[in-house]
Structure 1
Amino acid sequence: MTNSQHSTDVILIGAGVMSSTLGVLLKELAPDWNMTVFEKLSNAGEESSNEWNNAGTGHAALCELNYTSEKPDGSMDISKAIKINEQFQVSMQFWSYLVSQKLIESPQEFIKALPHMSMVQGQANVDFLKKRFKALSDNPLFKGMEFSEDPEKLMEWIPLMMKDRPVEDRIAATKIDTGTDVNFGALTHKMFDHLEGLGVDMHYNHSVTDLKRTSAGLWEVKVRNLESGTTETHTAKFVFIGGGGGSLHLLQKSGIPEGKHIGGFPVSGIFMACNNPDVVEQHHAKVYGKAKNGAPPMSVPHLDTRFIENQKMLLFGPFAGFSPKFLKHGSVMDLFTSVKADNLVTMLAAGAKNMSLTKYLIQQVMLSKEQRMNDLRDFIPNAKSEDWDLVIAGQRVQVIKDTEAGGKGTLQFGTEVISAEDGSIAALLGASPGASTAVHVMLDVINRCFPERMQEWDAKIKEMVPSYGQFLMNNQELLDHVHATTAEVLELQDPNQTSGKHLLKQA
């Protein structure tokens, strides 16, 4: 039963890092706009943004090998790495602005300096890593990266990983000290606390059940109060769907043409968490390896130092799993109900193209703990089963759509923004690099949906993000300034480093 109607300027669906980022940006650009947020769970940041549901890596392509590839002529393609690094720098600048303006406090509660490393084994992989290092280290964005095959140097960098390793193992690594560990859950809470202080209406335990366009051009959103069971109707000029895996169903309900022929395939993640503090203290880095043959990009193995609630932890993974749920707190019917008449052929084509992925997921689901431990021992040769526990991470819905390059049913590994032609509604779909590039992605949403306001807002955006509209790799002076100021404001000094200088200043 509908018992009330409300009107506002902006509705944000989902209380994750994307909605909080867009909300803060819009409040800085248009402080007089009224804003309402709906979240079906009882708190903010409880799905993909939650610190236990993601790897906590500040994705800047410093260590992720899947962001670079070898061309047919043998040269290294680093274009994707450059793009992601530039986008992460946008996030760093915006977070620095929030802290410097005292809109949020205590940056150490959501970001810490942490070395990022890549580690490979075998001659062919060592040759690849050396080539990758040369290509990246020649670019100013990756200045400060080191490469080594020397076992003594590697023992200095990653003692836990080198101890008891067979001497005949051919191993190499790169290391750069300007990496970060980011607690996106804590960041999300800080931004929503700020928005609540500005009078934004936050509605937890509220599930959006439908949305449609009115004859007046507004969006009418039906929302069910999960505590009282009542249904409310809210109208808004602009709606952002930032509900993680749940965004696809709401995009379909909107009926916009841009949402047609799009499907989603859910992949869950499993990490192994170390429960032995003595082991945790022996490792201080995020170390990424190479994905196994046939494994999807989101399954690149990595051994991560994490800081959650200011406690140092050690996680390894992810191992892929499968559940038809689109959200960790979703329904087992999510995948089936996402199949519509307009995307049926797309979904069937994706199934036919990705039999190897299906086989891989089945194999991953069937792994025993000891089999997972054997994968971990590629990183930590003497790892003991009793020191590690399984942790179920979040759900990621990979976008499936028709593309010119891939044809019908192409599986997309990345972050996608879908927006209506008139800019009245936008939805975020997809996965990694996700939260790390949230500010860049939300500025793209703003540019798409409010083009008539961009000239008016340009100066304010550049105040929040000094590099906006520029490429840092082409402006050394600005790059140095951004590195120095973000390091200073965000207090990015690694206590494990002997130097007293800020790490990003060293870059």
Structure 2
Amino acid sequence: MLVKRLIKMSNGETKTDVILIGAGIMSATLGTILKELVPEWEIKVFEKLENAGEESSNEWNNAGTGHAALCELNYTTEKPDGSVDISKAISINEQFQVSMQFWSYLVNRGLIQNPQEFIRQLPHMSLVQGEQNISFLKRRFEALTKNPLFQGMEFSEDPEKLMEWIPLIMEGRKWNEPIAATKIDTGTDVNFGALTRMLFNHLENKNVDVKYNHSVTDLKRNSEGLWELKVQNQFSGNVKRHTAKFVFIGGGGGSLHLLQKSGIPEGKNIGGFPVSGIFMVCNNPAVVEQHHAKVYGKAKVGAPPMSVPHLDTRFIDNKKTLLFGPFAGFSPKFLKTGSMLDLVTSVKPNNVLTMLAAGAKEMPLTKYLIQQVMLSKEQRMEELREFIPSAKSEDWDLVVAGQRVQVIKDTEAGGKGTLQFGTEVITAADGSIAALLGASPGASTAVQVMLQVIKKCFPEHINEWEPKIKEMIPSYGMSLMKNPDLLREVHSSTEQSLGLTEKELAYN
């Protein structure tokens, strides 16, 4: 039985039900779900920065794409026989639908307000050049549109049609160059920073104790089987101990170090490799107004999945802007606000061989990162001109985005030291602690990922909680792809609750 009330211990130790480390979208989502399921549980949050959503969740530190595999070509792969494997695209789309349902529930219940401040409908497009890529895109389109999750997607290689869809990209382009695109209007731009702040405002209104400028420096199991955390006040330097039966480590790149300090067997033989992102942002409103879509291209041969170039309309602080990227950078920091020693100190006796194996395997990635770091602004402009032939250097500035720590672990498929490009949840066997590692699709699938955490960590409560979970997420436990009527109902209700159709009409 979890502790039901906050107890001040005689030795100054504070005991509570749940501790969340990091005030990003993952902790915000988990805290919000738990408060709906068990309002009486006490929850504490510790964040080392001054506000919620300042690292990976911040709107300037991620692409702001509602990842539903509508435009991201790296979520669909070509098989040896020429067919296109869409299984990963289906999985990611279904997970994003879960997030949309949960956000709709929160809006409908009045728990968060003004959804247009964090989500807007925006066409998602894939764009390719060259006959071989066009052939792949067409086969991808045909495979996806047989599935009800991707209904409404269009394909065209007609320059005049593409000029209607993406005038900024088509202007000044030689029309004899083979080019094609797919387009679906139900894509979204999501401001995860704004959403994170909304959720933490809600949690604080529900008496969740959120401590900013507080850093978790250590954690271990005590004699009672509870997790004991040492938490330092960044201003005073004072250190206090806090204990809880369940701890979630949602500290972005900082999660790996805390997972290692926990000492759980599941956290061993895991390493991390940091990659930073750089975007180009347009400072010319006249150019910004000529584009209204998220347009994803294809990664160059030899480039890692996170390097897929895309030209994105974004809405930040209710202002329309235009970003292109990402360009990769390298810093040994695991967080944008981290330490230059993060990478070195993450190498432990139990993961050193895994890290060395990854280093030997990933020479192409190392070469790619070196090349990216060495790029001048004009060289980056040349890559941008593959999307916007008429782009002028004076219209674009560089913005350094967030740090992403790619997980390195030993796998059956990839062997020792395999670099992972997705989102990973590491959970103790007894469910008392869980840590989130990795990167994309990340925030877009936060609700599904946190439901998995709850299922693994609180199995004794799942049957009791299931009716409430289904109230929050009507499709819980079901495949929308296999239930087209439910899919249509979910699409209609979420669009209405989140104001997506109305917003788009109002914008135009």
TM-score (norm 1): 0.97
**Runs of 4+ with >4 A deviation:** 494-500
> How big is the shift at 1:4?
3.4
SS at match of 1:478: helix
Q: Which amino acid is the alignment partner of residue 425 of structure 1?
A: I
Q: Does 1:260 align with 2:268?
A: yes
RMSD: 1.3
AA in 2 matched with 1:188:
T
The corresponding residue for 2:281 is 273
Q: Residue 126 of structure 2 aligns to a residue in which SS? A: strand
How far has the Cα of 1:168 moved from its partner? 1.8
- Give the match's secondary structure for 2:334: coil
Structure-1 residue corresponding to 2:174: 166
Given that 2:120 and 2:503 are in contact with CA atoms closer than 8 Å, whether structure 1 keeps it comes out as: no
2:398 to 387, 390, 415: 390
Pair 1:189 & 2:167 matched: no
Residue equivalent to 2:37? 29
Query: Residue 28 of structure 1: CA displacement?
Result: 0.5
Gap runs ≥5 in structure 2: 1-9
- Counterpart of 2:224 in structure 1 is 216
Note the alpha carbon deviations across 1:398-456, whole angstroms, 9 max, x for none.
Answer: 00000001010000000000000000000000000000000000000000000010000
Please show how residues 487-506 of structure 1 align to structure 2 within 5 Å.
487-493=495-501
Partner of 2:446: 438
| Cross-structure match for 2:156 | 148
Alignment partners' CA distance in 1, 2:302 and 2:256:
26
**Aligned residue number for residue 505 of structure 1:** none
CA distance in 2, matches of 1:252, 1:11: 17
Q: Indicate whether 1:306 and 2:306 are aligned.
A: no
Is 1:378 aligned to 2:409, yes or no?
no
The 1-side partners of 2:177 and 2:57 are apart by 38
What are the superposed Cα offsets for residues 81-122 of structure 1, whole Å, 9 maximum, x if unpaired? 000000000000000000000000000000000000000000
Does residue 1:11 correspond to 2:19, yes or no? yes
**2: CA distance, partners of 1:49 / 1:33:** 26
Identify which of 338, 347, 356 aligns with 1:339.
347
1:329 has 2:337 as partner? yes
% of aligned pairs identical? 77
Q: Does 1:61 align with 2:79?
A: no
Question: What letter is aligned with 2:242?
Answer: H
Does the aligned pair in 2 maintain the 1:112–1:494 contact within 8 Å? no
Is this contact kept in 1: 2:227–2:243, CA < 8 A? yes
Give the Cα separation in 2 of the matches to 1:496 and 1:125. 31
Partner of 2:78 in structure 1? 70
Count of paired positions: 499
Per-residue CA deviation, residues 122-177 of structure 1 (Å, 9 max, x unaligned), is 00000000000000011000000000000110000000000000122110000000
**Secondary structure of 1:474's aligned partner:** coil
Counterpart residue type for residue 166 of structure 1: K
Q: Could you tell me which residue of structure 2 aligns to residue 503 of structure 1?
A: none
Given residue 380 of structure 1, which amino acid in structure 2 is its aligned partner? I
Letter in 1 for 2:276: S
SS at 1:28 equivalent: helix
Mapped partners of 2:504, 2:146: distance in 1 = 27
State the shift of 1:215 in Å.
1.5
Measured in 2, the distance between the counterparts of 1:492 and 1:111 equals 8
Aligned residue for 2:161, secondary structure, equals helix
1:241-281 alpha-carbon deviations (Å, 9 max, x no partner): 00000000000000000000000000000000000000000
In the TM superposition, 1:29-108 aligns within 5 A as 29-108=37-116
Aligned to 2:5: none
- Provide, for residues 214-256 of structure 1, a one-character-per-residue CA deviation record: whole Å limited to 9, x for no partner: 1111000000001111000000010000000000000000000
Residue 497 of structure 1 and its aligned partner are, at CA, apart by 5.5
Matched, 1:447 2:455: yes
CA distance in 1 between partners of 2:31 and 2:301 (Å): 41
In structure 1, how many angstroms separate the alpha carbons of the residues matched to 2:503 and 2:424?
Answer: 37
Give the direction of change, closer, same or farther, for the CA distance of 1:255–1:490 in structure 2 (3 Å limit).
Answer: same
